[in-house]
Amino acid sequence: DNSLANFHSEMDGCETCHTKPRHVTDSETHENMQCKSCHGEYSDLANSELHFDPHTSHLGDINCTSCHKGHEAPKFQCNNCHSFEDDKMPFAEAKKKPKWDKGWDNEKIKKAIAAGPVETTDVVVIGAGSAGFNAAISAKRAGAKVILFEKAPYSGGNSMLAAGGINAVGTRQQKERGIEDKVEWYAEDAMKGGRYKNDPALVKILAEESASAVEWLESLGANMDGLKRSGGARVNRTHRPSGGHSVGPHIIDVLRKAAAKEQVDTRLNSKVVKLVLDNQDNNKVIGVVIHGKHSGHYMVAADSVVLATGGYGMNKEMIAYYRPTFKDMTSSNNVTATGDGILLAKEAGASMTDIDWVQAHPTIGKDSRILVSETVRGVGAIMVNVHGSRFINELTTRDRASDAILKQPEQWAWLVFDEQLISKKKMVRGYDHLGMLSKANSVEELAKITGMKNLPQTVSDYNKYKAQGKDEAFGRDLMPLSIEKGPFYAVRVQPGIHHTMGGVAINTESEVLNIQSRPMIGLYAAGEVTGGVHGFNRLGGNAIADTVIFGRRAGEHAAAHALKD
Ligand code: MEZ
């Protein structure tokens, strides 16, 4: 057949790609090194002539085999969120079906447990997003032997798509700008945003450890020099890369490199399908069963296991069950966010908290899965209905903004801004690149092409409010930009699933609690797989904070448990 494997076998046989004797690891490390040795690094392959080049993608330095398959039809990872039908990959005609990820096989799981562990480690971390990487690096630095498993062919998880930033209080960045902030204010804002349903002990840690989380990321090489305001925060405390770039791809790149430097054993294409409990004490976790793409089912014994598998925003059945009114909504999440850790933990006897609380982000590009970051409103965009009239304070919390859009008869809205905003916010160029923006040389022309007949009046009123420093219509307190410098832009937005606030119940040590609310021995969790930190509604910038702070905590406690005595 016309597959990549066939083409290469004509060169130097199977050894062009594989080792001899043939041993393909789940991460396909050797195969990917072979690709790069002939074709160059990912960045070398960037083709500036293409309208869209996947090699310059925000996915970062991922495995070539994430998209290019040797013996299967190729699969554009990009098409999980975008649709680039016109960009054909070479060998797209290869027809073999993927042989992995056919679901869980209970018989094979049982056999793997009966056969006993093939490896032993101190700490297993499940999921290589921000929480998982932070846990793995912290556990490794604490002296533990660590294996980090990731089911996808690339690391990064949902964190890789985070647009906004990381909230923190008392940082160098705030001090340099003369911003007064307090740990208590951060905690109060998070509690108020969460409708006071959050666990105050977890929120206290989130606020207290936020500055050191930013310093930690910087110590690993991150640029966190940008500072913005997110909805529900009383001051600018969302830290992000300077220059307006998205936070997620940047910190994942930094964490990937840091994990490699610490020699964390990271295994891709490796889905954990079972938490193994002690026969004598079923409140104690003693290992995991993995389903590896090439190695099949096998058991690894571990003293500690950290769940960092993310939320369930891309699991349609779970959404339909826990939040039926959201079942037909689009989602901004990575395809990996399928709630696996929640299912694993439930089966092992863990308790869940706030499991049915799901956040709709108000501004996902209409009919798409692309998040239009909250910081676009923070930097200056206004939100208007199909007639061009404002209907809410754009900087209110996400649940309120989403509800307000859903109360509009059409259930979608426009964000409107001008050239000044684009020059401050580079990520907006990406939306333009994806064909999402309507553009005009005057507000009147924009009103005409979009049908927003009230827009000229709305913009004129808003510019007046900005000039006088008081929003008479909706009490918006931060209006950094007027809307007066052409070209003018508009993008259609609608609410979509963004974050699942509920999940596995944890205590302040990141230990998972059982249904009697007692810690399960050896089981830890961090990030979106957990519940309790965000209450009913998460504030922008608190997800990355959660993943870094509780990821580190989980890793440190998991290592301490594994290394004691
Ligand atoms: O924390 C987030 O989810 C966030 C800031 C998202 C965004 O709108 O950019």
CA-541 nearest atom, ligand 1? 1
What does the pLDDT read at residue 270?
96
CA-230 nearest atom, ligand 1? 5
248 close to ligand 1 (CB < 6 Angstrom)? no
Candidate list 237, 267, 390, 398, residue with the active-site label: 398
500 close to ligand 1 (CB < 6 Angstrom)? no
167 close to ligand 1 (CB < 6 Angstrom)? no
What does the pLDDT read at residue 187?
98
Q: What is the mean pLDDT of residues 495-513?
A: 98
Q: Give the mutation target among 431, 498, 542 for probing the ligand 1 site: most ligand atoms within 8 A of CB.
A: 498
Q: What is the DSSP string of 155-194?
A: S-TGGGG--S-EE-SS-HHHHHTT----HHHHHHHHHHHT
Q: Give the mutation target among 238, 333, 361 for probing the ligand 1 site: most ligand atoms within 8 A of CB.
A: 361
Q: List Cβ neighbours of 488 (8 Å cut-off, separation of 6 or more).
A: 416, 417, 418, 419, 439, 440, 441, 442, 443, 445, 446
Domain boundaries 100-357+501-565, CATH class: alpha beta
**What's the CA-to-centroid distance between 231 and ligand 1, angstroms?**
9
Q: Between vectors from CA 140 to CA 41 and to CA 225, what angle results, nearest 5°?
A: 60
Cβ-count burial 152-168 (b if 16+ within 10 Å, e if not)? bbbbbbbbbbbbbbbbb
What does the pLDDT read at residue 90?
60
Does 4-80 match 359-497 in CATH topology?
no
Residue minimizing CA distance to atom 3 of ligand 1: 540
117 close to ligand 1 (CB < 6 Angstrom)? no
Structure confidence by residue, pLDDT tens digits, 150-188: 999 999 999 999 988 999 999 999 999 999 999 999 999
247 close to ligand 1 (CB < 6 Angstrom)? no
CA-246 nearest atom, ligand 1? 9
**What's the CA-to-centroid distance between 370 and ligand 1, angstroms?**
12
**What's the CA-to-centroid distance between 246 and ligand 1, angstroms?**
10
Q: Does domain 4-80 have CATH number 1.10.1130.10?
A: yes
164 close to ligand 1 (CB < 6 Angstrom)? yes
373 close to ligand 1 (CB < 6 Angstrom)? yes
Q: How far is CA 102 from the centre of its chain?
A: 24
What does the pLDDT read at residue 94?
46
pLDDT, averaged across the chain: 93
Q: List Cβ neighbours of 195 (8 Å cut-off, separation of 6 or more).
A: 535, 536, 537
Q: List Cβ neighbours of 208 (8 Å cut-off, separation of 6 or more).
A: 183
What does the pLDDT read at residue 88?
61
Residue minimizing CA distance to atom 7 of ligand 1: 373
Q: How far is CA 370 from the centre of its chain?
A: 12
**What's the CA-to-centroid distance between 561 and ligand 1, angstroms?**
34
CA-363 nearest atom, ligand 1? 8
541 close to ligand 1 (CB < 6 Angstrom)? yes
528 close to ligand 1 (CB < 6 Angstrom)? no
Domain boundary assignment for the chain: 4-80, 100-357+501-565, 359-497
455 close to ligand 1 (CB < 6 Angstrom)? no
pLDDT at 192 over 90: yes
**CB-facing half-sphere around the CA of 78: CA atoms within 13 A:** 20
pLDDT at 414 over 70: yes
Question: Which element (helix H / strand E) includes 135?
Answer: helix 130-141
Do 498 and 331 touch, CB atoms closer than 8 A? yes
375 close to ligand 1 (CB < 6 Angstrom)? yes
Catalytic annotation present for 398: yes
Handedness of CA 326, 330, 331, 335 (dihedral sign): positive
What does the pLDDT read at residue 160?
95
Structure confidence by residue, pLDDT tens digits, 386-411: 999 999 999 998 889 999 999 999 99
pLDDT tier at 375, thresholds 50, 70, 90: confident
Residue minimizing CA distance to atom 2 of ligand 1: 540
Q: What is the DSSP string of 436-501?
A: -EEEESSHHHHHHHHT-TTHHHHHHHHHHHHHHT--TTT--------S-SSSEEEEEEEEEEEEE-
Structure confidence by residue, pLDDT tens digits, 287-346: 999 999 999 999 999 999 999 999 999 999 999 999 999 999 999 999 999 999 999 999
Q: Phi/psi zone of residue 229: left (φ > 0), alpha (ψ -120 to 50 degrees), beta?
A: beta
Exposure of 41 by Cβ count < 10 A (0-12 exposed, 13-18 middle, 19+ buried)?
A: exposed
**What's the CA-to-centroid distance between 165 and ligand 1, angstroms?**
7
Residue minimizing CA distance to atom 6 of ligand 1: 164
* CATH code for the domain defined by 359-497: 3.90.700.10
CA-543 nearest atom, ligand 1? 1
Q: Give the mutation target among 227, 373, 528, 544 for probing the ligand 1 site: most ligand atoms within 8 A of CB.
A: 373
540 close to ligand 1 (CB < 6 Angstrom)? yes
Do 483 and 463 touch, CB atoms closer than 8 A? yes
230 close to ligand 1 (CB < 6 Angstrom)? yes
374 close to ligand 1 (CB < 6 Angstrom)? yes
Phi/psi of residue 397, nearest 5 degrees: -70, 160
Q: Examine residue 21 and say whether the peptide bond preceding it is cis (omega within 30 degrees of 0).
A: yes
Two tokens, residue 483: 């809307």
Structure confidence by residue, pLDDT tens digits, 460-502: 999 999 999 999 999 999 999 999 999 999 999 999 999 999 9
**What's the CA-to-centroid distance between 543 and ligand 1, angstroms?**
8
pLDDT at 503 over 60: yes
Do 271 and 291 touch, CB atoms closer than 8 A? yes
**What's the CA-to-centroid distance between 369 and ligand 1, angstroms?**
14
Question: Complex ipTM, two decimals?
Answer: 0.95
Two tokens, residue 424: 């401050």
Phi/psi of residue 18, nearest 5 degrees: -105, 165
Cα gap 97→115, rounded to integer Å: 30
What does the pLDDT read at residue 433?
82
**What's the CA-to-centroid distance between 296 and ligand 1, angstroms?**
37
CA-542 nearest atom, ligand 1? 1
pLDDT at 96 over 50: no
What does the pLDDT read at residue 97?
40
Cα gap 301→413, rounded to integer Å: 51
Structure confidence by residue, pLDDT tens digits, 32-86: 999 999 899 888 888 777 777 788 888 888 899 998 888 887 888 888 888 776 5
